[in-house]
Structure 1
Amino acid sequence: MKVGIPKGLLYYKYYPFMETFFTELGAEIITSPETNKEILDMGVKYCIDEACLPVKVFHGHVAYIKDKCDIIFIPRIMQISANEYICPKFCGLPEMVINNIPDMPQTITSPIYAFSKKSLRSWARNTGIIFTKNYLKIGKAYEAALKAQKLHKGGIKNDNFKLNVALVGHPYNVYDKFVNMDVIKKLNNLGIGVITEENIESNYIQDQINSLFKRPFWTFAKNSYGFSTYLAENNKIDGIVYISSFACGIDSVVIELIKDKLDDFPLLILKIDEHTGEAGFDTRLEAFSDMLERRCVTYENNLSSSW
């Protein structure tokens, strides 16, 4: 059986688990290519106008592979941490895709509660039965997928740059090079190194969250806030670049929390949608780079004069 896995949304974070699980069950994996103009155009064509860019892109990935596979995996991810949730659009993602894109093949849409091994094993059992009645084989596929995900070293941490920034945002905005216009390469070309949240221990993130008057409901919001504020307060970065989808309600809250916490710390917010122009993107990055350099020189001069 050919299983289609769209390279959109949380594929970038959990693809080792996804691909290993279905492969171990004997399926042939069919993935869409990296996001490109054709996929974006298909997503815009089929998806509702009110959806954010990542959801539109996901529609495009599904449309690209729907005729190349027997069944498509549309992750209805509900939770990845206890007492926390992710974007509400994930809850209804399968219905959006199935009702918007014509002639869809069979889909895998069972809710995924990944906050514990027990809850995730339940999903694996319910999904695995589509491929085999052998529960032992399903269990082995599940364990192999967990191991593959655990061994996966995600994240980015550039070394040997004088200036460094935290690159913040939902994983699908940070790692989709087409969506973010290859922002990491652009920053590197400007002499700026990048660090992402995967390189920070969870206890440091949690310490920052504990300082808030109320714990965030959303896992990625918690990570974005805790990771960026920890690095800034401990002088491990020179600035923050936050990539946010236009009209993202979760990001709008987190960005204000970061501003409130860090006051005048350099923060560049890059809003993206299907109309974002690369020229404007480049101009803002260049201006931010110039500002960081001037700020760094001023800091060094003040430091030397104090001696």
Structure 2
Amino acid sequence: MIVGIPKGLLYYKYYPFFTNFFNELGVELVVSQDTNKDILDEGVNYCIDDACLPVKIFHGHVAVLKEKCDIILIPRIMQVRKKEYICPKFCGLPEMIKNTIPDLPRIIDKPIYAFSRKKLYTWAKEAGSMITKDKNRIKSAFNYAVMEQDKYRLGFNDKSQQLTVALVGHPYNIFDNYINMNIVKKLKRLGVGVITEEFLEDNLIDEEIRHLYKKPFWTFARNSYGFASNVYRKNLVDGIIYISSFACGIDSVVIELIKERIGNFPLLILKIDEHTGEAGLDTRVEAFVDMLGRGLR
């Protein structure tokens, strides 16, 4: 049996769990290639027009995988923290895929509630039963996958350059180099170090959230606001770059909250979609870095 995993959305954050879980169940695993223009074009062809760029790209990854596997994982990630949700599109992602891409193989689309080991194991039992009826093997695979995920550390924490910026946004916008047009490499060439939210402890994000009138309902909003607020308040960076998907409702709210919090502190907002040109993005990034450099002088 061959299980396909699309290399999009939260793959970058949780791939140690998913890949190790299915490997331990003894299946052959096929992961789609890094995002490229062909994958984007496939996604745009199948996906609805008003979806954000990362969701369109995910459709493309599924489209190129469907002929190569017997089952495709479409992670319906609902929660990773209690009383918070990920994104409305994530909740309905399998339905979007099934209603737009024809001739799909079987799909693993059970809801994932990852805020506790017990809840996550519920998903593992349901997903694993599509591959094997051996409950002990499923439990063993789950335990190993959780262990490997716990070891994994994602993110950037480069404070070695003359300038440092906080790179803020949803994980797939930060870690899919096609989406962000290799922004971390661009910044490094310009002498700018990058730090991301993964190196900020949860309790420090919670401290920042307490200042809000109401706690965010969405985990992405909580993390982005808490991280930006913390690095601003503690003067840890010279500026903030927020990478946002065009038409993202969550971002439209959190960006305004961040603006209100940081006032005149340097902030560059990069809105991206399938029409974003690299030359234009480069110009804006270079101008922002030049402004930060003048501030040092």
TM-score (norm 1): 0.96
Match of residue 116 from structure 2: 116
Q: Hey, what does 1:254 align to over in structure 2?
A: 254
Structure 1: 4+ residue segments shifted above 4 A: none
- 1:233 paired residue number: 233
SS at match of 2:56: helix
What is the correspondence of 1:4-23 to structure 2 with a 5 Å cutoff? 4-23=4-23
- Output the CA distance in 1 between the equivalents of 2:235 and 2:159: 16
- What's 2:103 paired with? 103
- The match for 1:128 is 128
CA distance in 2, matches of 1:192, 1:280: 19
Q: Which residue of 2 aligns with 1:197?
A: 197
1:238-285: CA deviations, max 9, x gaps? 000000000101001100001101100100000000000011100000
The 1-side partners of 2:295 and 2:201 are apart by 28
- Aligned 8 A contact 2:167 2:240 in 1: yes
- Counterpart position of 2:217: 217
Which position in structure 1 is the counterpart of 2:185?
A: 185
Aligned residues, how many?
Answer: 297
Map Cα deviations across residues 101-144 of structure 1 (whole Å, 9 max, x no partner): 11111110001111111111111111111111111111111100
In 2: Cα distance, 1:265 partner to 1:24 partner: 48
Counterpart in the other structure of 1:271? 271
Deviation at 1:159, TM superposition (A): 3.5
List alignment gaps of at least 5 residues for structure 2. Answer: none
SS at match of 1:100: coil
Report the 3-state secondary structure (helix = DSSP H, G, I; strand = E; otherwise coil) of the residue aligned with 1:178: helix
Q: Hey, what does 2:154 align to over in structure 1?
A: 154
Q: Letter of the aligned partner of 1:244 in structure 2?
A: S
SS of structure 1 residue aligned to 2:63: helix
Paired letter, 1:117: R
Query: AA paired with 2:122?
Result: S
Q: In structure 2, how many angstroms separate the alpha carbons of the residues matched to 1:247 and 1:131?
A: 37
The DSSP-based 3-state class of the residue aligned with 1:236 is coil
Percent identity over the alignment is 62
Alpha-carbon separation, structure 2, partners of 1:90 and 1:220: 12
CA distance in 2, matches of 1:204, 1:193: 21
User: Residue 179 of structure 2: SS of its match in structure 1?
Assistant: coil
Question: Aligned-pair RMSD on alpha carbons?
Answer: 0.7
Query: Which residues of 2 match residues 20-31 of structure 1 at below 5 A?
Result: 20-31=20-31
User: Scaled by the length of structure 2, what TM-score is found?
Assistant: 0.99
1:134-162 C-alpha deviation (Å, 9 max, x unpaired): 11111111100100100001111113101
Q: Which secondary structure does the structure 1 equivalent of 2:99 belong to?
A: helix
Shift of 1:228: 1.2
- Give the whole-Å Cα distance in 1 for the aligned partners of 2:158 and 2:115: 30
- Do residues 40 (structure 1) and 40 (structure 2) align? yes
Distance across 2 between alignment mates of 1:215 and 1:160? 34
Runs (5+) with no aligned partner, structure 1: 298-307
Q: 1:245 is matched with which residue?
A: 245
